[in-house]
Structure 1
Amino acid sequence: MASLVAFAPAHASPQRGVDPVHTPTRAAGDFSLLIAYSFGNRIAPGVDPTRTVGEPGPVNEALAETAIRTRGNRAIPIYAQTEIARVLHAKFHAAGVVEIPPNRKPDGTLVYLSTDGVAAKVAQLRGPSARVDVAGIVAFSDHLWRAVYTTRANGLDAYAPAGIAMPSTYDGLSGQDWTRSRTAYLPRDYAARLALLPRLLR
């Protein structure tokens, strides 16, 4: 598949093109914030998943560890979905964590928080600084490309951290059936990538 960098607007910098194969990276020391996207969860017996955010599970625990490793000894904020934020607080006692929770309907049921929804919330929270931010993205390996480009589609300059491996082992017991295996996940991810392209190329 030919690179889509050629389809970027003429005024775009090389970093802002769209490469359908490779995820753009940048040194972790360049980031002004991190965004950690969750992947799956664990649903305890007897818990209503429509009303209760699931437990982090092993994948989100690994994502939290990756966020800590990416930030290192710097004090930049970490914007993290609830499943990751819980681990950052409970296990790492991390400061500067901004939790990104799902919304709730008037009846108390959860509204699924998509990758796009997370990126939009972070962009809103950053306000005017979003125009100059450099966002480091922490996400499950098969989700990383879309997480980076979805963040860009919401106005943030986003990259994966160079030289830092993302979690790649699926959780067969995840409460989200599409995150239990590559076979279940990749068709969904690729469909979402195609839907994202028009926003990136306009």
Structure 2
Amino acid sequence: MHRPISRTLLALLGAGLLGSAAQAAETDTYGWVEKATIEPWGTAVKVKLDTGALTSSMQAEEIETFERDGEDWVRFTVEVEDEETDDVVSKTFERPVFRDLRVRGAGGEESRPVVLMTLCMGETLHEEQFSLEDRDNMNYPVLLGRRTIQDLGSVETTRTFLHEPECNDDSPVKSHSGKEYDEDIGV
């Protein structure tokens, strides 16, 4: 024998289901500015999700290319404001050059080294290609371009800081490094 379900119970069930769906949508939604940590350093920085840029970009100074074991490498210093402490901190990295990016703009054409770096956003580690440039005079030391954004989820253009970086040794890693990139593009 079937008993009718009350409207109140249906409403409560519906609200629970809708609440779960809203939570899932929120998890896959990012603000146009988020906080991330540069790994394995752990320094928290503001990251702008920039739909106008194809390639991601990171603040770098003292960019110096050199050769190691017959391969091109780059040494660079990242100097940023740590969003957790408000202190200006810096760290020097050495990475293999993943590729060179030719950027064309109003000022002409320039070449930038691109390296693989890892960011923690939310509970996920993202390995991404970053072009290195001095972004000292810009508001955001890190830009995530469309090639990374397309794998994150949706971007809510009216909101910021929807995710705190909370990665650990068991965090999933998403690699955006295997994608085909056209070297003759601007960012």
**TM-score above 0.5:** no
Q: Which has the higher helix share?
A: 1
Question: TM class by shorter-chain length?
Answer: under 0.3
Q: Which has the higher strand share?
A: 2
Larger radius of gyration: 2
How does the TM-score come out when normalised to structure 2? 0.27
